[in-house]
Amino acid sequence: MDNKNLNLYKFKWELRDGEVSSLFLATKEEINSILGKNVYFGEINGSNSCVSAIIEKEDFKLLTDDQNYIQQTIKLLKLDKASGYTIIGYNPFCYLDED
């Protein structure tokens, strides 16, 4: 992920006994590239929960594309490519099921 043209996104799945969510930075192209792919979070909702599904456009909400705000956030939180630009939560890019 390049740190130019990044946007702030919220990812959220409603689960029977809770939710899985995250805030992270990604480009619009990166979001489009993950659509239709399977994400496997494992047992994040307790034993035998096996949280897994296909990513859909509705799973993401664009919070801001303000580049000044995003660059300040990167600097303040010391985000980088190695962290997947994850601010908090379960970033679906880090849990792609490649099988």
pLDDT for 2:
53
Instruction: Provide the strand spans (E) within the chain.
Output: 7-15, 18-26, 38-42, 51-54, 60-64, 86-89
pLDDT for 45:
73
Domain chopping of the chain, boundaries: 7-95
pLDDT for 44:
81
* 40-60 confidence digits (pLDDT tens): 988 887 777 788 889 999 999
For the whole model, what pTM was predicted?
A: 0.89
Mean of the per-residue pLDDT values for the chain?
90
Please give the distance of CA 61 from its chain centroid, rounded to a whole number. Answer: 10
pLDDT for 62:
98
Q: CA torsion 31→35→37→42, rounded to 10°?
A: 60
